[in-house]
Amino acid sequence: MILRVSKVQKSYGKEKVLKNISFEIQEPKIVALIGPNGSGKSTLLSIITNLIQADRGDVEVFGESNRNPHMFKQISFMQDNTVLYDYLTGYDHLQFIGDAQGIAKKDLLKTAERIGITDYLHKKVKQYSLGMKQHLLLALAIVNQPKLLILDEPLNGLDPTSAIRVRNLLLDLAEKGTTILLSSHNLGEIDRVTSHILFLKDGELLEENLSDYQQTAFEIETNQPDHLKEIARNYGFKTGGSKGERVAIILNGKSVSEFFEMLSKENMDIRDMEKKVFGSEERYQRLFNREPLL
């Protein structure tokens, strides 16, 4: 057992932020925690890492209570950049962890190199951009080679090149056996690293494996949207919502060539067509904004 969260509750004043949160991670993988601003993601991650206390409930990491001080040898938490000291350098921060956990200087520098922060490692954090701070935080989180890595919005403020680099780093760590629990609003990136999703909604968790319902669809613009929907259903496709003259046809287990055969047989007037893979973004829209699949 890597992580077990049991019946966790947390309120701030009268606001019940977490109502009764339970979930488990049994084997190494990447798990994403998704929810709107203020839904309680940071609160939950801080409870798991014992930085704040739950009102009720328990957390176990590798079979032991998260209150056990030894836990911090196996688990790392990347929080937001308010934990950095402006007047220290990036290297000072790394050295602090190195001294506390007995990590050699060459390994600190290797981590800096891996994250790509060597060029500004000896500058004061005060001079760092948001993205540079994010990189430093990530370096601090992985430098002790944790078995469980918890990341609160690691992609925040990263340019596309850096986001790709971080994505590859996460996939590489996970492949080597690190379990990663991360929160993010970047659902496109989430889909690229995992299909294991925890949606946090109204203080409760909804655990899903997106691959169970991830679907390929074609969004089509036609002057006969209702007719196209009816035909598609007769051929065994599913149809999503429609907006004006655009209709979503979901493959529903059928092949792309079956889809094109239908279009040519039925001689439909198609003005535009776009292939889509419905993933966490569409699921999010449904759950939180109650919008149809288009």
Q: How far is CA 115 from the centre of its chain?
A: 19
201: Cβ contacts below 8 Å, ≥ 6 apart? 35, 39, 287, 288
Nearer to ligand ATP among residue 41 and residue 283 (C-beta)? 41
- Please name which of 108, 189, 91 lies closest in space to residue 142, comparing C-alpha atoms: 108
Q: 87: which 2 tokens?
A: 């007047």
66 counts as binding ligand ATP under rule CB under 6 A: no
Nearer to ligand ATP among residue 37 and residue 257 (C-beta)? 37
Nearer to ligand ATP among residue 81 and residue 145 (C-beta)? 81
148: Cβ contacts below 8 Å, ≥ 6 apart? 2, 3, 61, 62, 74, 75, 76, 178, 179, 180, 181
CB of 177 to ligand ATP, least distance (A): 27
12 counts as binding ligand ATP under rule CB under 6 A: yes
79 counts as binding ligand ATP under rule CB under 6 A: no
Q: 217: which 2 tokens?
A: 């669809």
154 counts as binding ligand ATP under rule CB under 6 A: no
**Binding-site member from 3, 5, 17, 187 for ligand ATP (CB under 6 A):** 17
175: Cβ contacts below 8 Å, ≥ 6 apart? none
Question: Which of 34-42, 157-165, 223-231, 266-274 is the region at the interface with ligand ATP (rule: CB under 6 A)?
Answer: 34-42
Question: Which of 31-39, 112-120, 230-238, 239-247 is the region at the interface with ligand ATP (rule: CB under 6 A)?
Answer: 31-39
**DSSP of 222-255:** ES-HHHHHHHHHHTT-EEEEEETTEEEEE-TT--
Q: How many residues bind ligand ATP (CB under 6 A)?
A: 11
- Residues facing 196 on adjacent strands: 209
| Contact code string over 81-120 relative to ligand ATP, x by CB under 6 A | ----------------------------------------
**Binding-site member from 7, 38, 130, 277 for ligand ATP (CB under 6 A):** 38
**Binding-site member from 2, 5, 25, 43 for ligand ATP (CB under 6 A):** 43
Instruction: Check: CB of residue 259 under 8 Å from CB of residue 249.
Output: yes
Beta strand pairing status for 75-78 and 215-222?
A: unpaired
35 counts as binding ligand ATP under rule CB under 6 A: yes
Contacting residues toward ligand ATP, per CB under 6 A = 12, 15, 17, 35, 37-43
